[in-house]
Amino acid sequence: MTTILDQIEIIRDFINSPRKQHILLSQIADWNKLCSSLDAVEDTEMAIESYLKNVKPKSVGETYLIIYGILQVLYVQQDAVKHIAESLAIQYTRDSLLTEIREIRNDSIGHPTKRGSGKGSKFNNIIRHTMSPTSFQLMTYYANGVQPQFTDFNIPTRIQIQRQKLDQLLSTLIQALREEEMKHREEFQNEKLTDIFPHTLDYYCGKIYESIRGNMPNTFGSGIVDLINKHLAEFKNALDRRGLFQALGSVKYLFDELSYPLVKLKTYFTVAHDPAFVDKDALIFIFFIREHLKELRDIAKEIDAESATMP
């Protein structure tokens, strides 16, 4: 059975994917609110679980602490789920039963001494002799003079209701995230990033070796460098369209690493040789380029494989 903690972990998986995380980080306040809210749901869920397993107060004072504490935990947990939805720009509608739990908290331990204003005011207190770690009776007086109201509350029952309703809300959030990701993947499902890197690329790199050694003309080597730059530009554009280039630090790093040796090789083949830049330097550069191209191709394969799976 999927628990609230399981659902929070699923949401974390969605938001920590590079593309989604990059989008969310562009609004840092929302990102921070989201992280805080996810932690709060987990923290309060652990507190609730502990309450359900270890409710053994040794005094009336401890019983008050338990009641005050668990009702505040339920209130905070509701707020956290609402703020998760807000951070993700997903519509949130609070169930009436969740609102009722919030009102119980406000009346009994949140703002018991005065709710409302004027003749609509009401004043509450927990009747001590009815109190146990799992239930209590609330007496409510009214400013308009009507007879006091007595209401019984069972806390484990309210916990069960809240978990059920929050489970439904979190499931709705997860479904929205899943649909968003599916839509994105469907947009690019027929575009394979690995196709940008032809199988002949290794062969062409080998030809650069021949150009460096003088077995092929410099114009040929220069043309291969241009071809490599063309494929890199296509790869970057394809990642940009997917919202991935800026999100993938490893790709940006490899592009930065490739920039200098490609410029140097282009100069090597097109400009009179710099005596400080010998053939062995060029051989080292093309080896470096070839290895980094393999890394980029592996990343392309991983992205293609991920895009082919259902989120």
At 70 the pLDDT is 97
Above 90 in pLDDT, residue 307? no
Above 90 in pLDDT, residue 5? yes
Above 70 in pLDDT, residue 275? no
At 309 the pLDDT is 80
Segment 212-268, tens digit of pLDDT:
887 777 888 889 999 999 999 999 999 999 999 999 999 999 999 999 999 989 888
Segment 166-211, tens digit of pLDDT:
999 999 999 999 999 999 988 898 899 999 988 888 888 888 888 8
> Alpha-carbon distance 254 to 274, whole Å?
26
Above 70 in pLDDT, residue 108? yes
At 268 the pLDDT is 87
Segment 13-26, tens digit of pLDDT:
999 999 999 999 99
Q: Which range has the worst mean pLDDT, 50-64, 179-193, 263-277?
A: 263-277
| Structure-derived torsion over alpha carbons of residues 171, 173, 179, 180, reported in degrees to the nearest 10 | -160
> Alpha-carbon distance 66 to 63, whole Å?
5
> Alpha-carbon distance 263 to 118, whole Å?
78
> Alpha-carbon distance 252 to 186, whole Å?
25
> Alpha-carbon distance 262 to 132, whole Å?
75
> Alpha-carbon distance 50 to 47, whole Å?
5
Higher pLDDT, 208 or 42: 42
At 273 the pLDDT is 62
Instruction: Look up residue 279 and give its amino acid.
Output: D
Above 70 in pLDDT, residue 276? no
Residue 191 tokens, joined = 């575009």
pLDDT, mean over the chain? 92
Above 70 in pLDDT, residue 274? no
With a threshold of 0.95, does the pTM exceed it? no
Scanning the chain, the segments in alpha helix (DSSP H) are 4-15, 18-25, 28-53, 60-87, 96-105, 155-187, 201-212, 218-241, 249-270, 279-307
> Alpha-carbon distance 32 to 279, whole Å?
52
